């Protein structure tokens, strides 16, 4: 069994069976260089890593990764089970500088609200936090691209005006919410993220299909 398959099972067990609350501060997991290689797994990895249930893998060059494809040994599996069931054996990872209670939670916004805001004179800064490759394939009209990892490394690159309205989006919602939290912590005051995953996927799929059709006709 791989680390990627276990992390999802453990996270679901904590939520459904033990009803353990989620970790709000996900920043300790940002040291993992492969964190967003699997966007479906990222949320699970963040929770289990920050809670101190599973550890990172250290590469020869010193970089830290989760390495989801790595097979779990019997010893590691035993350790995971123990830490899952008995929190006193964990060493949670914390970042002192983060304080989400004071910064607040980012606002959720609908796709229809975004469309209306983009028609106004003082339009918000619409940011696609997906990869450059995904952005190049198609995005929302008027959006600029700044991948999540770039925002994590330097959230101040977006705008000198901390009062400017910023709306972030990705394809499934998780990366945009993470980016929104980073911006709030950096001092931006008007931050929202598009959370309608199904509509976003449907919109982008339709946009890409229409774009390919026009390209073929041309």
Active centre residues (catalytic):
170
SS3 state of residue 198? helix
The sign of the CA dihedral 76, 82, 87, 90 is negative
CB-based burial label for 194 (10 Å; 0-12, 13-18, 19+): buried
Spatial distance between the Cα atoms of 207 and 50, rounded to a whole number of angstroms: 37
Torsion of CA 41, 44, 50, 52, to 10 degrees: -110
Give alpha helix (H) positions in 52-193: 74-85, 100-103, 111-117, 132-137, 148-153, 174-185
Spatial distance between the Cα atoms of 108 and 176, rounded to a whole number of angstroms: 10
Strand bridging mode 64-65 / 166-169: unpaired
Spatial distance between the Cα atoms of 35 and 64, rounded to a whole number of angstroms: 10
Closest CA to 152 of 126, 125, 175, 124: 175
């Amino acid at each position: 069994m791989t680390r990627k398959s276990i992390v999802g099972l453990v996270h679901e067990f904590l939520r459904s069976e033990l009803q353990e609350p989620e970790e709000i501060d996900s920043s300790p997991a940002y040291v993992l260089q492969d964190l967003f290689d699997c966007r479906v797994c990222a949320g699970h990895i963040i929770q289990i890593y920050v809670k101190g249930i599973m550890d990172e893998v250290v590469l020869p060059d010193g970089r830290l990764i989760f390495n989801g494809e790595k097979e779990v040994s019997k010893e590691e599996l035993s350790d995971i089970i123990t830490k899952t069931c008995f929190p006193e054996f964990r060493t949670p990872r914390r970042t002192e500088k983060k304080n989400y209670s004071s910064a607040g939670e980012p606002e959720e916004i609908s796709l229809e609200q975004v469309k209306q805001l983009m028609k106004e004179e003082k339009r918000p800064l619409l940011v696609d936090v997906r990869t450059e490759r995904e952005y190049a394939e198609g995005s929302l009209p008027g959006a600029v691209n700044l991948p999540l990892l770039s925002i994590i490394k330097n959230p101040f690159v977006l705008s000198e005006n901390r009062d400017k309205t910023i709306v972030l989006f990705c394809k499934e919602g998780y990366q945009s919410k993470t980016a929104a939290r980073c911006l709030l912590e950096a001092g931006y005051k008007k931050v929202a993220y598009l959370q309608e995953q199904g509509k976003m996927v449907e919109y982008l799929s339709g946009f890409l299909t229409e774009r390919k059709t026009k390209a073929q006709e041309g």
